[in-house]
Structure 1
């Protein structure tokens, strides 16, 4: 009994670790929540740990490369691998609106893959994120554009500034046109905001398609190791377009992205998830 009391902490810690290991390997639900916790904690750390360095050049898009590096390490910890295709299609010597299909909060890891290959990337985020410090401060330092979605006048001013950033700073604004997350075989209808920005700035649209996350299923509470393909499609020009061209531009963009989403998802499923 005295020996047990003397090593009580060590015994308790060992039992706890063994319990976690057993649950992690045997329970897909436990693994699902554990990996989401790991993702959240490590993403927060990778986004904020570089704050002292980013303070030297506030609002510099290159600051985003630091948390992007951290995000790529998070992917390794979670056992997620990414394959990027179509780098030759990246818009050169110009800003653009980058459209990305939206499946999960894990799309942050997709941004971590995109940032190093596309210069001057940033995102548009709801303004409430800014007040979530220190993450909000870090987001501001790497050039995030915050928008007040509840104030139409303020939101319009922000979109106008976004157009200026694209034209004069050659910024590449990453946006999720579906507006909400989903993981099904069909993309959701696209919102108009990203296309208004592109037409206003007279800049090209750069569609980026991420194959379906077969390693993630919220309904079944599964989050396994896995693989996904990121495909950069040829840019879609908007030069000379007006608001009247908006419906056609949206349809053209969505059709191109849906076709690639279906194709790349089928290829990934066959190559990495087929049952022999």
Structure 2
């Protein structure tokens, strides 16, 4: 059989499987996401290697990776852009439901401009994407070593504060897709109070179109809401519990108001 016919048949089988199999579509969409991140990292590697640890490298990565969203069927609706675009140093805190949060971040980064993120140490070794993130100034921390993580973050925050770079963290610590915002770890709040840096809450609405257990991944919309900053100036570490509760309550209220019915309207 001619090779061209073989390719045509293969493409037809893949497309047929994509449209009739929920599980195949689920893995295909995540596969597209991963492949584009890898390819983009390789393309931009020569740029990043010339200016290592420069957070501007993330801008170029995010700009190119925005192509992922239409390919996997997600539309991002961003509210509160005016807070994200301010030329100030913030600790950005967002809820964490899925690795797809990163795709949403690709759409926020051109607005945020100068920012970096905190990621688990394991991601550093997921080359070539992890290597590019390291070259782009992403902060990697060993989650099992609390004191070491705090030292790394405090040092990084002092440096980024002078440069007016925003530091993005997920205060829940790990992602959960059960439609709830779970308890927050205090590390980010400790940094905000120590350095008197405002906290900028960001809320991703519920991923109603995604079910990891059933392996369903439909098309859908996600509202990303950037809430007004919570200022820490004049507050001491004694008020950390109140600060955690205040930020979490605001994010939960926003999350609960962004229901699937409203998103689909």
Q: TM-score, normalising length from structure 1?
A: 0.89
Matched, 1:29 2:23: yes
Structure 1 spans left out of the alignment, 5+ residues: none
Give the Cα–Cα distance (whole angstroms) in 1 for the partners of residues 248 and 263 of structure 2. 25
Indicate if the aligned counterparts of 2:94 and 2:201 stay in contact, CA closer than 8 A.
yes
Q: Which residue of 1 aligns with 2:100?
A: 106
Q: Which residue of 2 aligns with 1:65?
A: 59
Q: Which residue of 2 aligns with 1:88?
A: 82
Query: Per the alignment, do residues 168 and 81 of structure 1 end up closer, same or farther by CA in structure 2, a change over 3 Å counting?
Result: same
Q: Which residue of 1 aligns with 2:120?
A: 126
Give the Cα–Cα distance (whole angstroms) in 2 for the partners of residues 104 and 191 of structure 1. 18
What SS does the corresponding residue of 1:33 show, helix, strand or coil?
helix
Q: Report the Cα offset of residue 152 of structure 1.
A: 4.0
Give the Cα–Cα distance (whole angstroms) in 1 for the partners of residues 90 and 6 of structure 2. 55
Matched, 1:135 2:124: no
Q: Deviations over 1:185-205 (max 9, x none)?
A: 321111111111211221000
Which of 37, 40, 57 lines up with 2:34 in the alignment?
40
Query: Per the alignment, do residues 218 and 148 of structure 1 end up closer, same or farther by CA in structure 2, a change over 3 Å counting?
Result: closer
Indicate if the aligned counterparts of 2:38 and 2:128 stay in contact, CA closer than 8 A.
no
Q: Which residue of 1 aligns with 2:212?
A: 218
Q: Which residue of 2 aligns with 1:156?
A: 150
Structure 1 vs Structure 2 CA RMSD = 1.8
Q: Report the Cα offset of residue 271 of structure 1.
A: 4.6
Indicate if the aligned counterparts of 1:91 and 1:235 stay in contact, CA closer than 8 A.
no
Give the Cα–Cα distance (whole angstroms) in 2 for the partners of residues 138 and 96 of structure 1. 23
Give the Cα–Cα distance (whole angstroms) in 2 for the partners of residues 52 and 200 of structure 1. 37
What SS does the corresponding residue of 2:50 show, helix, strand or coil?
coil
Q: Rg larger in 1 or in 2?
A: 1
Give the Cα–Cα distance (whole angstroms) in 1 for the partners of residues 120 and 204 of structure 2. 23
Which of 227, 244, 269 lines up with 2:261 in the alignment?
269
Matched, 1:232 2:226: yes
Aligned residues: 265
Q: Report the Cα offset of residue 105 of structure 1.
A: 0.5
Q: Report the Cα offset of residue 72 of structure 1.
A: 0.7
